[in-house]
Amino acid sequence: MKFTILASGSTGNATLIETSQSKILIDCGTTKRYLSSRFDELNLLRTDLSALLLTHSHGDHIQQIKHFAQVPTYSPFAFDAYERSFEIVPYQHFTINDLTLTPIELSHDVDIIVGYVIESQDRKLVYITDTGYVKVNDYELLKNADYYIVESNFDSELLMNSNRPYLTKQRILSDTGHLSNEACGELLSEVVSSRTQHIVLAHISQEANTPELAKSVVKSYLNGYQGKLDVAASFDLVSGGDID
C-alpha cells in the first residue's frame, strides 16, 4: 500500500491511496487547477480512480466533487447524488477491490464526519483529520497500523495569541473543533506499535502552528518509536509505503 498526500489543511485536502489493484482518493478539496497539476505529476487520470472517499461536507474537502461524477463515490452525508454514489455508515465495513474500509465517527462542526481505517491483505492505514477528539472506544480499531495520517492542527498558545476571532478560537478548542499537537501526540501514543512504519501529521494550521512545533511536540509522546515522522503542510507532496 502506498499513500500520497496531495494537499492538507484549511486550503484544501486530498490524499491518494494505492495498491496493485486500487487507487482511492480521500477528499477532493483545493482548486481544480492545483488538483489537476498534481494528477499530472503522478501520471494519474480521474478515470484511473477506483473510488472517491469523502470525510465530510466542508468545502476544503469536497470543492471539486463535480469533477468526479464518473468515479464511484462513498460518502457519510447526503449530496446531489451521482449515478455511482454510495452512502456509508460509521463502523460498517465495505470493500473496494482488494481493500477493506472501516469509517469511524469523528467530531466536528458538521452533522456527520468520518475518518477511515483502510486495510489490504498485509497493510493498514489510519486517516483522521478534522475532529475535536477521538473516542477511546475506537483505539482498539486504530491500533497497530503501518501508516498513520493524523491531524495535528494547532498549538494552544499560538492559537490564543492569533488574530482569529474569539468565537473561532473557542470552536477550534471545542470537542467539535480540531486536534491540538498534544491531543495528536496522546492519541498516537495509545495506538502506535512496533509495526508502525510512518506517521504523517496533517491539517497543520498556518496561523496557530508550525510544522517544526507540531513535529517536536508529537515526537515527545512517541517514546521508542523508530519509524518515520513527517509533516504535511498545505501543499506538500508527502508519500509513504510502496506497492508490491
Reply yes or no on whether the pLDDT at 219 is more than 60: yes
- Residue 52 neighbours by CB distance under 10 Å: 26
- What confidence score (pLDDT) does residue 85 get? 86
Rounded distance, CA 49 to CA 17, Å?
A: 10
Kindly state the average pLDDT of the residues 196-204.
97
- What confidence score (pLDDT) does residue 209 get? 97
Give the pLDDT confidence of 79-118 residue by residue, as tens digits: 765 567 899 999 999 999 999 999 999 999 999 999 999 9
Q: What CATH number was assigned to the domain covering residues 2-236?
A: 3.60.15.10
Strands of the sheet with 228-231, listed across from one edge: 94-96, 99-105, 114-119, 124-128, 147-151, 198-202, 228-231
Q: Which residues make beta-bridge pairs with 14?
A: 7
Give the pLDDT confidence of 133-179 residue by residue, as tens digits: 999 999 999 999 999 999 999 999 999 999 999 999 999 999 999 99
Q: What nine digits make up the cell of 237?
A: 507532496
Nearest to 19 by CA among 2, 5, 4: 2
Confidence of residue 9 (pLDDT cuts 50, 70, 90): very high
Q: Secondary structure of the chain: what % helix, strand, coil (to 5)?
A: 25, 25, 50
